[in-house]
Amino acid sequence: MLQDLPLPLRWGVVGAVVLGLAGALTGLVVGVRVYWPTAWAAAIEVGAPATFVGFALGLVAGALVRAFHRVHQV
């Protein structure tokens, strides 16, 4: 399924998943340490922006890799 996507979009999805999970885990740890009943909200507050940043960085990295492959293919 992921292999059917274009390279930049594939890298964007991978970046979103990786940074989203890392951000959610970080938010959860911070939330548990600060006030545990609202730790789930902290996971969302940190994880959601991290997901968007991961998608954007992955998209840019995938586009650069695709451009690099096209330049060196000739």
In a domain, 66, yes or no: yes
Beta strands per DSSP E along 1-74: none
Cα Rg of the chain (Å, integer)? 16
The size of the chain, in residues, is 74
Please say whether the beta carbons of 55 and 12 come within 8 A: yes
In a domain, 33, yes or no: yes
Percentage of the chain beyond pLDDT 90 is: 88
Please say whether the beta carbons of 44 and 38 come within 8 A: no
In a domain, 1, yes or no: no
What's the structural domain count of the chain? 1
Check whether 1 has a pLDDT greater than 90: no
What are the tens digits of pLDDT across the range 6-48? 999 999 999 999 999 999 999 999 999 999 999 999 999 999 9
pTM of the model: 0.88
In a domain, 2, yes or no: no
